[in-house]
Chain A
Amino acid sequence: MKNSMLRPCADWVERLAVRYPDDLSYVERVALNEHLASCPTCAAIHSAYQVMGARIYSLPPVEPLPALPYRLLQREQCAAPYVEQLKTMSPGILFRLKSFSEKIVKHLHQGMIYARSDDHHLYAFCNGNSSILWKYKESHVFFSSPAVKNGVAHRMFVV
């Protein structure tokens, strides 16, 4: 006999579909177990959900992609000549960048310079061709304008 005509109790419909222990607190889980012990309809639906979940999980795996599109990714990387851009920065700015961390990893991608150390995050966003907005841990630390010409930083004014 199929259970499609069964309807779960409205108050429990969300909790019947949980799958992992972390999805419910201890108190919620105890309450759910008590409800399942007293409500055969919800118990049947809860059981059906477990079976359905197992069926979704057991769907045959899909063939993976053969490889990363390396050429495409390398082209993306080459499109951002971050080394050249960093060379054009004033020594003061580079010093300021370095002062935030012992080891800075630099990456520029699509107009964004990314600098990071183990415990510091510093971002520089290229805003079109007119300015650069610097962010440090979500807080703007300084703003420069006009600092960019043809996507290359020439001068930086710390505010």
Chain B
Amino acid sequence: MSHSARDPAAALVLTDTLWFVEVVRDAQAGNLSAFDTLFRYYNARICTYLTRLVGNDEEGHDLAQETFIKVWRALPGMHDESRFETWLYRIATNTAIDQLRRRKFRWPLRKNHEADDTSERTCVAGPEEQVEEAELVKLALAQLSPQYRACLLLQHVAGFTQREIAQSLNLSEKSISIYVGRGSEQFRQAYERLENGLDATKKRRLAP
């Protein structure tokens, strides 16, 4: 007896997966309606991923559109329909990294400038704690290299296992394990440095 036959939940997942593979196949055959289904399924996720990866809303949306166009062009050549998701994220990641290289982003300059600005803004305006935390997370992410940032976003935002991240970035699982480990540690230190800086600024403001 198959696993899915014993477990109704697993059977449902299988049905969904088969349906999904069918949609991907239809899209591969040039069915624009099927591709629209895929687009609606991944639109918000790809926009969020790319915006976080490049650190800019407008550019994230431009890259998302570019990604979907590239996917449409490349779909006929995709080999394994069941790996569509990791393949899609690979195209999105490569599109973003190419863009970052082309425009020669200078994250350190930008982030230091923004970190100071944010500290000032948050203290003066007194924003809610959640907004402040989100800003710190974005700033800490901006301090990572694009590859470390991609690994953390794929892990925590896309919900990928390390094996899936490896498929998405076309790297070995061992490399991904190292990237995720180093990226997590750099992110932790960057976040705590920013948080300490923010606390110190607040204390200075409150001092008579």
Contact = CB atoms under 8 A, between A and B. Distances in A.
Interface of A: 2-4, 8, 13-20, 22-23, 45, 48-49, 52-65, 68-70, 72-74, 76-77, 105-107, 109-110, 112, 114, 116, 121, 123
B191 A70 contact: no
| B interface SS class | helix
B162 A109 contact: no
A58 to B, nearest CB: 8
A107 B28 contact: yes
Q: Point out which of A20, A60, A72 has the most chain B C-beta atoms below 10 A from its C-beta.
A: A20
B185 interface: yes
Contacts of A77: 30, 32
Given A60-B134, A64-B47, 6 more contacts: A45-B185, A53-B156, A56-B137, A65-B47, A73-B69, A107-B76
Contacts of A23: 161-163
Contact of B141 (A17, A48, A56, A57): A56
B181 A17 contact: yes
Contacts of A63: 47, 57, 61
A68 B181 contact: no
Contact of A4 (B73, B177, B192): B192
B180 A17 contact: yes
Interface residues of B, number: 55
Contacts of A2: 192, 195-196
Contact of A19 (B25, B51, B156, B195): B156
Interface string B30-54: 1010011001000110011001100
Nearest to A49: B184
Given A56-B153, A65-B64, A73-B35, A3 B192 contact: yes
B17 to A, nearest CB: 16
Q: Point out which of B25, B180, B195 has the most chain A C-beta atoms below 10 A from its C-beta.
A: B180
A123 B79 CA distance: 11
Q: Point out which of A13, A19, A62 has the most chain B C-beta atoms below 10 A from its C-beta.
A: A62
Contacts of B193: 4
B125 to A, nearest CB: 17
Nearest to A45: B188
5 contacts: A17-B183, A23-B162, A56-B137, A64-B43, A77-B32
A117 B64 CA distance: 30
A14 B180 contact: yes
Contacts of B172: none
